[in-house]
Structure 1
Amino acid sequence: MPPGVYCPVDFWAKEENQTILVDFLLPTGIYLNFPVSRNASLGNIKKLLWQRAQQEPLFHILGAPSSYVFTCINQTAEQQELEDEQRRLCDIQPFLPVLRLVAREGDRAEKLLNSQISLLINRGLHDFDSLNDAEVNDFRTKMRQFCEHVASCRQQLTWESWMESNFPLQLEPSTTLFTKPLFSKSIMINVKFENSEETFTLQVSPRDLPISVIQLALRKKSNVSGQRCPVGPGEYTLQINGMLEYIYGNYPLCQFKVSGRHKPPPLPTKKPHLCSLWSLEKPFCFHLSFGYNVNADEGLKLLVYCGLYHGNELLCKTVASAEVNASSEPQWQQKLEFEINVCDLPRMTRLSLALYAVDKSKKGKSTKKKSKKDYPIAWVNTMLFDYKDMLKCGQYSLCMWSSFPDEKAELLNPMGTVQCNPNTESAATLVINFMNMSDYPVYYPSLDKILELGRLGEVSNPTQDERQQLQEIVERKGQAELYEHEKELVWKLRHEIRERHPEALPKLLLTTKWNKHEDVAQMVYLLQTWPELPVLTALELLDFNYPDRYVGSFTMTCLRKLTNEELCQYLLQLVQVLKYESYLDCELTTFLLERALIHRKIGHFLFWHLRSEMHVPAVALRFGLILEAYCRGSNYHMKVLIKQGEALSKLKGLNDFVRSSVQKTNKAQAKEAMHMCMRQETYLEPLSHLYSPLDPNLILTDVCVELCTFMESKMKPLWIVYNNELFGGNRVGIIFKNGDDLRQDMLTLQMIRLMDVLWKKEGLDLRVTPYGCLSTGDKTGLIEVVMRSDTIANIQRNKSNMAATAAFNKDALLNWLKSKNPGEALEQAIEEFTLSCAGYCVATYVLGIGDRHSDNIMIRESGQLFHIDFGHFLGNFKTKFGFNRERVPFILTYDFVHVIQQGKTSNSEKFERFREYCEKAYMILRCHGALFLNLFALMKAAGLPELTCSKDIQYLKDSLALGKSDEEALKHFRVKFNEALRESWKTKVNWFAHTVSKDNRQ
């Protein structure tokens, strides 16, 4: 190993066979100290400890080794039970080399599973237990039962169906797993009562389950025993082992268990008195009590702004509290009343609060609006109804969040989470009291009551003029705001919209007066008979603007038609939409879990999309609970994911080691040290023979250590190469990044992949390369290496005599393609280049991709051009000294044109064909403009720095010319195309500056 370089980074990552002196504490109070191999498993260490303990006092009072488990203090200073005895000591890495042996309590298998899940999702399940939260507990119980049920169904799949769900073909069939007619056959059910030997068989239709089974079983028991069954059907529970969709036809006999306990008839009791929300025609109010942990300068005043929201719609005027002197524990003791009656509060109302400091020395007269003299301190949101539909009452302590959204013009942050800040010790906190609005608990009316009121709505007969106005509103492209008279017309003609324009449902929902319960009831009533929308249209209804649960239920009905491939395509957005959900238990969560547990690829990416944000406090609880449920329903896949997690952990440690090495020595020596480290068994074993996180259908077999390296950029990304016999003998490469947020790259590549799908549907294959990219944690992730390719910068540099003039060498690209594609193959390579160049010209223009230089545009040896590194999009171009460095709509340089024209300046026919490709590709995307707007809108919850609000999506509307006719839009694109070609010399100058700057850095 080169001098000055040390292999990783703490005493757990030393030489493979090195022993470590470990202290052992036995349950008998005996202390032992002896060396063990750092590579030894806990099981082997326990055997060795048992041999040593036999020579010690009090050994005879110890039980069997299996009755005990090791505990340690882990790296986060918490005590951890080490149930998985196959794990090695070097992988556990306790804070100190001290292992304590304690008696095992409870179900060993359950504790082992809990330990593995905690390790995998990076959060201890005991955290969920310690919350003592009724909603959390109910959700965990429900999801556990649901996932275990789906898992039991999966076990009854035929071999072919199991293979399809775990290892689907790349071209999947259009049919789903649920293709058999549901009610085609009756099934035979074997029924057995608890504490009884008698069994009997029932024949029922699947449509009758489960209630009729209980009734038939009890009737049968009464007939068999000759006695009337003392317990009614409602007091029995039915456990269904097996999924009906898979049972009938293939599995005619299924075990059912009807259990109940005999008890005397209950005494008549009074039903609890409840109060309907709609009966309370008085203003809503709450009591603002006090705050604590507030950090504000002396001399300032503190006040709280309050607003009631339904989605982004403000239900009534905001209310401001009185101003009080700044202190760590400000006191208000004030009743705050809103201009809305309790009866008109919609079910999904959320109360948004924001704490502000006011500089009284500069404060103007108005306190109703924020001015530059108001300084935001913290915000918090909470729902007015609990998860059981009851209006909240009593005292609540709301721990606030200190980071405000970028839309500075807004007082409040209704789109933020309704979860309180888990940092209860230091977060600013408001204590409020929801006052009793009635002598009895207040509930939100049931669906039956809502529909009963909704039936009373009037149906208007539109005039011809009104129909024409409605047609114009419906056909309006984009998400333009409607005028008040247009909103009134849309609401008036809501039945006409249902019959003739059902796709305009989002516009109708935005015109609904959600602060009038009569209008809400009419909208819900209308929704019951609304025609199902196409999947891509229904995606818009997932937006934060549509929080109503009946709208959500309708949306999920539409989305259930998503094929597995389509669901994978939009999974990134669906996971982000979970952040908009107000309660843990929602139909979207159940839908995603159900599909994930049946289809392995969906489960894989659902897991990593959730796992990658477990470090975010606002979503850690929700995402952690969903991950727990998925793991419980997919034990086999969990083992695969654990292996992937171990590999990523090793890559992170290796990356830290490489960064440290580079600071102490040169690149060659650091690379040699990296190889020595990778050859250790503790690295080689976790990194080999695992399913690729980038593609769950691909197994990464043997690491080709000699070809592994690290890249020159600041964070020293790792370049890992695999010899892969299962992949046609070709090598596979992945890049591990630590320190860069890959979520924006993921979104951009998803959009390019979607564009490719849309183009191919129209018969246009533009040979784009949407390579794999996956965020796996806090600024960590993986990128697929596109093998047999190089950057334009390297090609120009290698084909030029002087590095400084490389950017101006127009023959470099063509000569490189000739060298890789001799003879007749060259024409096909140029065609590949032409098609792919057209695809990326259009894609980068529409998405507003910035920071385009010769190091992030690459070419494959087959001729396909593609872009990488998407750190800037939606028109966020780089500037230097106040000037825009990128002054062209997209990259179309003369050396690109030189290749397209096959090196002949007179070959204008080839260039015109390229122009036609671009125009056709652009017009196809424009037809699907609403889909791109919706998908970007759903990503606002992701917190990407360049996509935080609706204004950021304006670039897409402009680039796709959504406010113009097709002829005007095509003319608009032609102007941009000519501008890109005319101004391409500026791109060359920019590339020259980039090359010189890079050479100077090196």
Structure 2
Amino acid sequence: MVHIPSPYAFDFWFQESTEPNVELSCLMPNGMFIPLPANRNAILLEIKEELWEEASKYPLHGILQDASSYIFSCVSTMGETEELRDENRRLCDIKPFCSVLKLIERRKRDVDGDERALNFQISSLIGKGLHEFEGLKNPEVNDFRWKMKLLGTEVARIRQNKTWLEKVAYQYPPRIASSDKIPPSCKARMRESSYFVDSTSITTYDYYIDSRFQNTETAFKFNVSCTTTPKELLHLIMNKKSITLNSRGEDPNDFLLKVCGQEEYLIGDYPLVRFLYIQECLSRDITPIVVVVSVNSVSVDQDYVYETLDDIDINRTRHSLLSLTLRKNKGKYQSSWTIDDLFSFKVCAISRLNTDVNRTVEVGIQAGLFHGGKPLCESQKTVEKLVSKEGSVEFEQELQFDIQVANIPRMARLCFAIYEMSKTAKGVKARKLKDSKQDLYMNPVAWVNTTVYDFKNQLKTGDMTLYMWTYAEDSQNEDMLQSLGTVVSNTNVDHATALTVSFKRYSSEYTIMYPTVEKMIEYAKDHFDPSTVTTRSDTEIRNYLDTVMQMAESDPLHDMHEQEMKELWAMRYESQMYAPSLLPKILDSVEWNSHKDVAEAISLLQKWPKLPVEKALELLDYAYADQQVRSFAVKCLQSVSDEALSLYLLQLVQALKHESYLSCDLVEFLLRRALSNRKIGHYLFWHLKSEMTVPCVSVRFGLILEAYCRGSQQHLDILSKQLDYLNKMKETSELIRQRKDRDKAKQWLHERLSEAHFCSDAF
């Protein structure tokens, strides 16, 4: 039992007590008073984590910023107000008067003006004010912004410690072939020669390369070997220059090789022939031209850590996982796999429904559980009710699904659709009502999706308002429930149809959480069923797997029958050894509405060999919704070269749309690579920016863009110029369209482009 002395004595903290816990009185920035039991030896960081969990159960939680935006203050034993900036201090050492702690906002540093300017520049670039993110009052958004700020600062510090040459490679990434083999198209343009080493014939290939000097007429031509590196060529050039021009004392290390006419440098300890510029020239039978430039003439941004975070702030994230573990050990959490109740929730009401007020309208709500686009059980419907003149309907009806809470997978989504009862069908999604004496149709009106678990792995409980989307007229999806649609509510909260639901609380004492990976692996080990493994001979297994592999390669879109899936699932261990590329087919065979199968699949995934990039990309499709599956796919992409990653970048950005939560391995992977290679960062920025006008992804993509901009602030000026030029071209295009005379429009365009300020500002 928590010791609550009444009244608090002035020497309370100095009295000996056998009770390890005290009750803190916490004063929140949103005006709430929260009593919080805490261990006397707990550090402030742990207390803040516990307090934030508790605050989520109180009103006005949404207006709180991320926990890192606040620090504790208290009245000290000296009777003075003390700001507790060191969050590693223990409660028993602080001894707050009357056990009262107050949360206050961190004081801004002297860089407020710079921060405002930076925020304005980022807002202009992404086309969305950063205050809009804060206005969402969404804990997941706040948590994601904080994590990404930490990630950007971490990468910036790594960049800060790089050598000058490594910084050049970041800012001007060299284009290098992924393979060290010379392409046949290049070999055909090279001279073949042979020499002997210890009676062994060695074949090599030579080619010519032109070298020039910056701002001079001096030029040399060299016949170089296929093994010659940029550093070796620089030595050859400088030696020839010193002999030809009688110049001495120039160090080759003070120069770099630059591609003629491009901001591209040949740097790194690679053979010259591995650089794509050299390969492109040779394949077109063109002599490559390189320019020798001084290192002092290479413009390299001065790197610095953009935001000096206190060490305690950085330690916060490292400690948060430990703190979370400590909280779990206290017994406040219960695994969802222990809940055998059928999943149910209450549909409360809808409001602001856009219907014709001059006629009687009856609407109902259909709901379904999906995972990877496939239903987990039969969908459910409410009774149909009349819509009031204000566009609202009160349902107060509970919907129960034929699936236990234990069997709902982590990434399951709950899909809603409002439909109108009508005698005529409207659109391809209309459904004729069965078992009806008259012809009635269900015409869909609005839809919305949400996840069953929140971003902290907790089963959602309590009331929730979802803002719905209207159906697109040109949509090719004929299903009423949009299982592949976004899980983000409509951002136009003032005008969108609002659906209020209430999720059931399955335990009055515990928070229901989805099991961790470790718990799932342990469960799979303890509940292994030998009957689910094949008894076929090794030869039969190999023959069957060969057949499946041939089928998968010839027709990747082939849907397996249920019996085929069962047979392949029974051979999952053999597939892991002999045919790891069949992993997508194995995952297709998993019964995701059975937590036993899910545990077995996740356990199997931990030992699965890494897949080629193409197969890994397949696992990022919407059909593979599981968090661990998508994390495995990202691990397979970690070793891909920057040049190869550029080829798949657009597809990876599109795969972000299939993620159910803001924070995921794919986002972190893309941001780390973008912040380590400006070329990738450039393309990532514009891939995301191009879809910022799409409402359902504007928040997700906007947050990723903000994270990139904060982590690569030297890139912002260049991006701003590009955006400015793009806007000018857009404006010019609109003005040209208004001119009917083609010749006059062409003349006006030439005049417009010849204006000095039109192009100079952009370059």
Map 1:884-895 → 2, pairs under 5 A: none
Name the counterpart of 1:343.
406
One-letter identity of the residue aligned with 1:430:
L
1:396 aligns with 2:459: no
Quote the Cα distance in structure 2 between the aligned partners of 1:318 and 1:157: 56
Tell me the SS of whatever aligns to 2:444. strand
One-letter identity of the residue aligned with 1:380:
V
Please give the per-residue CA displacement for 1:601-657, whole angstroms capped at 9, x wherever unaligned. Answer: 111100000001111110000000000010111111111101101111111122222
Please give the per-residue CA displacement for 1:64-109, whole angstroms capped at 9, x wherever unaligned. Answer: xxxxxxxxxxxxxxxxxxxxxxxxxxxxxxxxxxxxxxxx997111
Contact preservation (8 Å) 2:178, 2:644 = no
Quote the Cα distance in structure 2 between the aligned partners of 1:109 and 1:514: 50
Map 1:386-465 → 2, pairs under 5 A: 386-404=454-472, 406-439=475-508, 440-455=510-525, 456-459=527-530, 460-464=533-537, 465=540
Name the counterpart of 2:343.
284
629, 633, 642: which one pairs with 2:707? 629
Name the counterpart of 2:416.
353
Q: Structure 2 vs 1, CA of residues 649 and 364 (structure 1 numbering), >3 Å: closer, same or farther?
A: closer
Tell me the SS of whatever aligns to 2:377. coil
Contact preservation (8 Å) 1:320, 1:367 = no
Quote the Cα distance in structure 1 between the aligned partners of 2:522 and 2:662: 29
1:599 aligns with 2:677: yes
Map 1:737-752 → 2, pairs under 5 A: none
Please give the per-residue CA displacement for 1:310-342, whole angstroms capped at 9, x wherever unaligned. Answer: 111210011111111134101211000000001
1:323 aligns with 2:323: no
One-letter identity of the residue aligned with 2:683:
F
Contact preservation (8 Å) 1:353, 1:380 = yes
Contact preservation (8 Å) 2:433, 2:441 = no
Contact preservation (8 Å) 2:444, 2:471 = no
Q: Structure 2 vs 1, CA of residues 365 and 139 (structure 1 numbering), >3 Å: closer, same or farther?
A: closer
Contact preservation (8 Å) 2:178, 2:641 = no
Kindly state the Cα deviation for residue 303 of structure 1 after the two structures are TM-superposed: 1.2
Name the counterpart of 2:137.
132
Quote the Cα distance in structure 1 between the aligned partners of 2:312 and 2:410: 37
Kindly state the Cα deviation for residue 583 of structure 1 after the two structures are TM-superposed: 0.5
Name the counterpart of 1:539.
617
Higher relative contact order (CA 8 A, sep 6+): 2
Q: Structure 2 vs 1, CA of residues 452 and 272 (structure 1 numbering), >3 Å: closer, same or farther?
A: closer
One-letter identity of the residue aligned with 1:670:
A
Quote the Cα distance in structure 2 between the aligned partners of 1:257 and 1:573: 37
Quote the Cα distance in structure 2 between the aligned partners of 1:553 and 1:519: 19
Tell me the SS of whatever aligns to 1:346. coil
1:294 aligns with 2:353: yes
Kindly state the Cα deviation for residue 491 of structure 1 after the two structures are TM-superposed: 1.4
One-letter identity of the residue aligned with 2:680:
I
Tell me the SS of whatever aligns to 1:542. coil
Kindly state the Cα deviation for residue 411 of structure 1 after the two structures are TM-superposed: 2.3
**Mean Cα displacement is larger for which, 475-484 or 414-423?**
475-484
Quote the Cα distance in structure 1 between the aligned partners of 2:646 and 2:111: 39
Question: What RMSD over aligned residues (CA atoms) do the two structures have, in Å?
Answer: 2.7
Map 1:939-954 → 2, pairs under 5 A: none
Contact preservation (8 Å) 1:650, 1:686 = no
Contact preservation (8 Å) 2:343, 2:405 = yes
Name the counterpart of 1:516.
594
One-letter identity of the residue aligned with 1:397:
T
Tell me the SS of whatever aligns to 1:377. strand
Tell me the SS of whatever aligns to 1:650. helix
One-letter identity of the residue aligned with 1:343:
A
Name the counterpart of 2:170.
165
Name the counterpart of 2:217.
none
1:685 aligns with 2:685: no
**Mean Cα displacement is larger for which, 371-380 or 673-682?**
673-682
Name the counterpart of 1:374.
442
One-letter identity of the residue aligned with 2:743:
A
Please give the per-residue CA displacement for 1:145-164, whole angstroms capped at 9, x wherever unaligned. Answer: 10121022112222222222
Q: Structure 2 vs 1, CA of residues 301 and 451 (structure 1 numbering), >3 Å: closer, same or farther?
A: same
Name the counterpart of 2:31.
none
Please give the per-residue CA displacement for 1:196-217, whole angstroms capped at 9, x wherever unaligned. Answer: xxxxxxxxxxxxxxxxxxxxxx
**Mean Cα displacement is larger for which, 674-683 or 349-358?**
674-683
Kindly state the Cα deviation for residue 490 of structure 1 after the two structures are TM-superposed: 1.2
696, 717, 720: which one pairs with 1:642? 720
1:564 aligns with 2:639: no
One-letter identity of the residue aligned with 1:392:
K
Quote the Cα distance in structure 1 between the aligned partners of 2:744 and 2:590: 68
One-letter identity of the residue aligned with 2:366:
Y
Q: Structure 2 vs 1, CA of residues 639 and 325 (structure 1 numbering), >3 Å: closer, same or farther?
A: same
Quote the Cα distance in structure 2 between the aligned partners of 1:596 and 1:361: 52
Aligned length: 496
Quote the Cα distance in structure 1 between the aligned partners of 2:703 and 2:435: 41
Contact preservation (8 Å) 1:462, 1:493 = no
Tell me the SS of whatever aligns to 2:414. strand
Quote the Cα distance in structure 1 between the aligned partners of 2:137 and 2:673: 30
1:141 aligns with 2:146: yes
Quote the Cα distance in structure 2 between the aligned partners of 1:458 and 1:501: 22
617, 628, 642: which one pairs with 2:695? 617
Contact preservation (8 Å) 2:421, 2:440 = no
Name the counterpart of 2:547.
472
Q: Structure 2 vs 1, CA of residues 536 and 361 (structure 1 numbering), >3 Å: closer, same or farther?
A: closer
Tell me the SS of whatever aligns to 1:652. helix
Quote the Cα distance in structure 2 between the aligned partners of 1:684 and 1:595: 31
Kindly state the Cα deviation for residue 511 of structure 1 after the two structures are TM-superposed: 0.9
Quote the Cα distance in structure 2 between the aligned partners of 1:110 and 1:409: 48
1:121 aligns with 2:192: no
Name the counterpart of 1:310.
371
478, 482, 498: which one pairs with 2:576? 498
Quote the Cα distance in structure 2 between the aligned partners of 1:526 and 1:494: 8
Map 1:206-245 → 2, pairs under 5 A: none
Contact preservation (8 Å) 2:462, 2:505 = yes
Name the counterpart of 1:834.
none
Please give the per-residue CA displacement for 1:22-56, whole angstroms capped at 9, x wherever unaligned. Answer: xxxxxxxxxxxxxxxxxxxxxxxxxxxxxxxxxxx
Map 1:158-197 → 2, pairs under 5 A: 158-172=163-177
Please give the per-residue CA displacement for 1:888-914, whole angstroms capped at 9, x wherever unaligned. Answer: xxxxxxxxxxxxxxxxxxxxxxxxxxx
Contact preservation (8 Å) 1:346, 1:514 = yes
Quote the Cα distance in structure 2 between the aligned partners of 1:611 and 1:449: 40
One-letter identity of the residue aligned with 2:501:
I
Kindly state the Cα deviation for residue 681 of structure 1 after the two structures are TM-superposed: 4.3
One-letter identity of the residue aligned with 2:760:
E
110, 113, 121: which one pairs with 1:108? 113
Name the counterpart of 2:68.
none
Map 1:715-794 → 2, pairs under 5 A: none
Map 1:656-695 → 2, pairs under 5 A: 656-660=734-738, 662-663=739-740, 666-687=741-762, 689=763
Quote the Cα distance in structure 1 between the aligned partners of 2:344 and 2:559: 31
One-letter identity of the residue aligned with 1:587:
D
Contact preservation (8 Å) 1:535, 1:561 = no
Name the counterpart of 1:928.
none
Kindly state the Cα deviation for residue 407 of structure 1 after the two structures are TM-superposed: 3.9
Contact preservation (8 Å) 2:412, 2:451 = yes
Quote the Cα distance in structure 1 between the aligned partners of 2:476 and 2:399: 26
Quote the Cα distance in structure 1 between the aligned partners of 2:536 and 2:141: 52
Q: Normalization by structure 2: what TM-score?
A: 0.62
Tell me the SS of whatever aligns to 1:608. helix
One-letter identity of the residue aligned with 2:559:
E
